[in-house]
Structure 1
């Protein structure tokens, strides 16, 4: 039940997925401006959403994407080192 005087939270179900482009690496993260333009252009966001809240939400999601990519690259690097060491010690 919504409280008096409060507006309901907008649905900020953002995709932040860049269009598939074989020329670009799959782990490219959009800039904040690119992501905002993409979301507004493709209609994933209601136009009445507060721009400041939208910017903060997208910024947080982009940060999470960068962290995810960085972590996966680090794990892949460690796995490669393990394989290299296993080959050396055989």
Structure 2
């Protein structure tokens, strides 16, 4: 998996669960375009490990006219807020993630 793909998947997963802080999201965006250097925070590293180990891939997403976000699954666009309840196993794993 390429680094930019991993960053995309981390940010997408975070858009469903809000696991990262605002600062960590910004850091990922800036790191991606070579505007910051250094090491990822423990929370970013934990989410990166989760994405890598589980092979989680982001579904297609889009903003709606109503300013809500949607993801594509089961042949239809669904409200992003419904992702956690529609994926209870992933939700449980995310809630149980521990970082150092």
Q: Which TM class, normalised by the smaller chain length?
A: under 0.3
Greater C-alpha radius of gyration: 1
**TM value normalised by structure 1:** 0.25
TM, length-normalised to structure 2: 0.24
Tell which has more relative contact order, 1 or 2 (C-alpha 8 A, sep 6+): 1
